[in-house]
Amino acid sequence: MFRRIVYTNASSFTNTLISDPSKATTDRADALFNLHPAELHALLESAWSFRVRNNNLPSGHPENKTGLRGLPDSIIALFDNSWFNASKFVTQNDSTDPCTGHSLWDHLIYAYVIESTQIYKVFRKLVENYAKGDFEINLTPEVLQWLHNTETLWFADPPVLSSFNMVSHLRTDMYLTRSGLYYRFFGFPLPGDEQLPYYKAKSSHLNYRRSFERFAEEVWIGIENEANITGRRPIDDAAIAFSAYEMQKNFLSQRNNGDITKQEFFFVSMMAWFHLSLEYNSPIVKAFGINEQSPAQRLFALANIVGVPANGLSENLFRLADNMSLLLTLVESGIFNDEANVPQLYANTSPISAIMKQIIFNYSHVSGNNLKARAVKTYESMPLQKGNGIVADNGHAALLS
């Protein structure tokens, strides 16, 4: 959610992150990181309350994710501020319907893919070192505010009456709650977390990987053969539509009329905060004198500094996250259930086709399963693979092996 506020000038979900942030954009990011925690909570509450809601669609649909209420209007009005509202991100569309707006957020797959880089564990260790006083950098006001905000937002229990309080006597560990949610939605945990004691719901979507890979393989066949005018043209729009329908049906079943939506919103926002912190020379990046030029390389540098392993496939994962989020949101909308819309996935002139090419390339790398090779496979529920290990200067593994 935070990245969408900083990087977009409209509410469109399809706006993509610019590859080289301008000074105006980085200034907006700096201003965001320098807000008071109460203002950041206000942005979260506002975006939640003014989410897109099309009551003509079933609850759980991307444009009608849940019927759960946000804060009462009288309270929202106190802090539904004009900060960043030039983007119309958290402003109401219809004054007659106080819980209708146009904030959209990423699919849960975005949080899963970003967290697969081990970004959460790296930043957790960094903030833990700060909290314990084991910090040997100059704490400028900007760095101090970033640390304070990060600890307050993501490593402390949310306020009791917050819309996003994920901690209770029944859910005592937010990390295990998040791991259980990933397993419920995708059928596998984060890389390296296979043995964690998170709860595996009986209704978990164990067929996701099979359905997605069959979908992507058929799309690749379409990409390769779309230009064929004569000869064999083995494109199967019906198979693509069926796989899309299978995924949509299972995702909406897991959402259970919007039951998990607030968890998705909160965890996506969490990973967006960490992701944004690595997308440019943010206060925390500059504090450690890191001069790398990509989120993955900045993450590796921080991993070396704090002695926590990061995933060696992080470059591919960062490139995959936004595209997977957009694709699965479109899949959940049901657009590709109709065979007439399927050619958009592979037609040479289609922008979605360009996104699919990137997804297939990066997914093949991180999963170890070449989607371009039409071979017999055993589809198992399993996490993304770990990257090759690189040992840091301090003797600790810098990357997962």
Task: Please compute Rg for the chain using Cα positions.
Answer: 21
> Residue 273 to residues 29, 40, 185, 270, 373: CA-CA distances in angstroms?
10, 11, 22, 5, 36
Which amino acid would we find at residue 183? Y
Which amino acid would we find at residue 394? N
Phi–psi pair at 145, nearest 5 degrees = -65, -40
HSE-CB for 206 with a 13 A CA cutoff: 7
Bridge partners for 53 per DSSP: 64
> Is the separation of the CB atoms in 385 and 312 below 8 Å?
no
HSE-CB for 345 with a 13 A CA cutoff: 31
Q: What is the per-residue pLDDT for 84?
A: 44
* Three-class DSSP category at 56: coil
Per-residue DSSP letter, 397: B
- Residues 240 and 336: their CA atoms lie apart, in Å, by 8
- Residues 361 and 374: their CA atoms lie apart, in Å, by 14
Which among 141, 174, 114 has a CA at the least distance from the CA of 30? 141
What is the full per-residue pLDDT of the chain (401 aa) written as tens digits? Answer: 788 777 654 433 344 444 556 787 888 889 889 988 888 888 887 777 766 666 677 666 676 666 565 555 555 554 444 444 444 434 333 444 433 444 567 899 999 999 999 999 999 999 999 999 887 787 899 999 999 999 999 998 877 666 677 777 787 788 898 999 999 999 988 988 888 888 888 888 888 999 999 999 999 999 998 877 777 778 999 999 999 999 999 998 888 766 788 888 889 999 999 999 999 999 999 999 999 889 999 999 999 999 999 999 999 999 999 999 999 999 998 999 999 999 999 999 999 999 999 999 999 999 988 999 864 444 454 555 655 544 344 444 443 33
